[in-house]
Structure 1
């Protein structure tokens, strides 16, 4: 009798383990993750959202609230900060649902329902170039697996190719989670609640995005792999590092092109003044205080 009970317990445990293993595998544990650069998986959209500051794991409630109003709509999350660099309470995101895509019209009744519940309305254009990948959306566990497995690969892909890509978008379709990171017109993907100063920085980056996009085109090859469970933090916006990288590139461009015409005028003026001082004093190693001050000003501008 005891042996029979032990056998039943062991069989039940094995069946439970097999069920859990099958559930995890079905959720996407071994699914290939292909990251590439190219056309976006999303056309221009009109969506409703709520803006939130705080740890990204607290966004689950916003997804549930949005889905409860429009259960047939695709959900969307836009994440603006990297939780590894930004404290959790300061991480910003916009979470909601897509009302219309492309030339389709939004459902006015649904729109009113969302607005009554405190959701805002905004539109994103169709991005020209993006970093993108996808992950199966079969179970709730697929969301956790997708976040843990996809973001490290997106981060590696972007850093390896030195791309300026932000913010990070997640689009939840019926059977697929699409991840998208714009490479151009990033300022258009910042909702109004994000600080205006950061939107201006993003717009300034777009002035130089042509070179980045051309690099993206040349790096449109993909990377793939199955991987295992990684960090539970969401690898989000690299906006800060992009701004820094862009600044370094601008500095190198400026150095390679030489100084501006105004700076050249000052330098030439300083040079002529230096020659006059040398002729007057007969000493090429001495400069008057005025010349030293002028040279100091030029050096400061450079």
Structure 2
């Protein structure tokens, strides 16, 4: 009888282990990860979002809220700060759902539902060059595996090629998590809450620089920091103008971790078109290491 009980226990443990192993494999434990520099996985998009300042682990609630309103829509998370350099409470993100892509029109009823729930509308342009990778999105565990497996690959790729890539986007659709960081027009990927706060910070820095006679150079768009000081680089469009005009002012706590900020200079705008036409191998700008958002979207399924 004891032997029979022991055999049952051993069999049960074996079944549990095999089930766990199968679940992990199905979730993407051994899936190939290919990091590419080239065309983006998305066209220009219009999306709804809620801006959040706080640990990325808590973004899952916003994903759930967004999915509850539009369960069939692709979801998007945009992450602006490196949690290894910026304290969790100061990390900034925008989480929501994609309403339309390319020339498609947004569903007006869905848009009203999102706006009623406090979501805001913004648009991202289509760019010619991005750093991108994808990972299967089959289970909740896929999200955690994707965070831990993909970001180190992105970091290696960007460092090896001395690229300037920011911010980092995660798009959840069609059974995939698509990771993307633009290599051009980065300023257009910063939501109004961040642009307004960065503009105020820039004005304060300019004031102190003028009063103290400082010659420090703060005009490098790509450095070792985790954010961007942005001037108005967004092309004028109805969606962009509406998004800017409707946004209330919001401050932010700055880089308490000591990470440097970036400013988009006039030189960047003047060379924008030329840079977008350069071959992939010619991207030699040194940029910030990508963010390793471990467990960034706990709750996203």
Report the TM-score, using the length of structure 2 for normalisation: 0.71
**2-structure distance, mates of 1:120, 1:203:** 28
1:13 positional shift: 0.6
Is 1:189 matched up with 2:189?
yes
Structure number, greater radius of gyration: 1
Is 1:217 matched up with 2:280?
yes
1:218 positional shift: 1.5
Q: What SS does the aligned partner of 1:193 have?
A: helix
Q: What SS does the aligned partner of 2:59 have?
A: helix
Is 1:199 matched up with 2:262?
no
* Structure with the higher helix share, 1 or 2: 1
What 5-or-longer segments of structure 2 have no aligned partner?
A: 200-228, 232-262, 284-291, 297-301
Q: What SS does the aligned partner of 1:76 have?
A: strand
Q: Which has the higher contact order (CA 8 A, sep 6+)?
A: 2
What 5-or-longer segments of structure 1 have no aligned partner?
A: 221-229, 235-302
Partner residue, 2:74: 74
1:215-247 CA-to-partner distances (Å, cap 9, x unmatched) read 761169xxxxxxxxx98376xxxxxxxxxxxxx
1:255-280 CA-to-partner distances (Å, cap 9, x unmatched) read xxxxxxxxxxxxxxxxxxxxxxxxxx
Partner residue, 2:249: none
1:87 positional shift: 0.9
Please list, as runs of the form range in 1=range in 2, the aligned pairs for 1:30-49 lying within 5 A after superposition.
Answer: 30-49=30-49
Please list, as runs of the form range in 1=range in 2, the aligned pairs for 1:106-255 lying within 5 A after superposition.
Answer: 106-194=106-194, 195-197=197-199, 198-200=229-231, 201-202=263-264, 204=266, 205-208=268-271, 217-218=280-281, 232=294
> Could you tell me whether the CA contact under 8 Å between 1:84 and 1:233 is conserved in 2?
no
> Could you tell me whether the CA contact under 8 Å between 2:28 and 2:136 is conserved in 1?
yes
1:179-226 CA-to-partner distances (Å, cap 9, x unmatched) read 110000001100001034322223644444567657761169xxxxxx
Task: Name the count of aligned residue pairs.
Answer: 225
1:14-51 CA-to-partner distances (Å, cap 9, x unmatched) read 10010000000000000111001000000011000000
Partner residue, 2:28: 28
Report the TM-score, using the length of structure 1 for normalisation: 0.70
**1-structure distance, mates of 2:43, 2:148:** 26
Q: What SS does the aligned partner of 2:192 have?
A: coil
Sort the Cα spacing of 1:171 and 1:231 in 2 relative to 1 into closer, same or farther, 3 A: closer
State the superposition RMSD in angstroms. 2.0
**2-structure distance, mates of 1:161, 1:38:** 13
> Could you tell me whether the CA contact under 8 Å between 2:151 and 2:293 is conserved in 1?
no
> Could you tell me whether the CA contact under 8 Å between 1:49 and 1:94 is conserved in 2?
yes
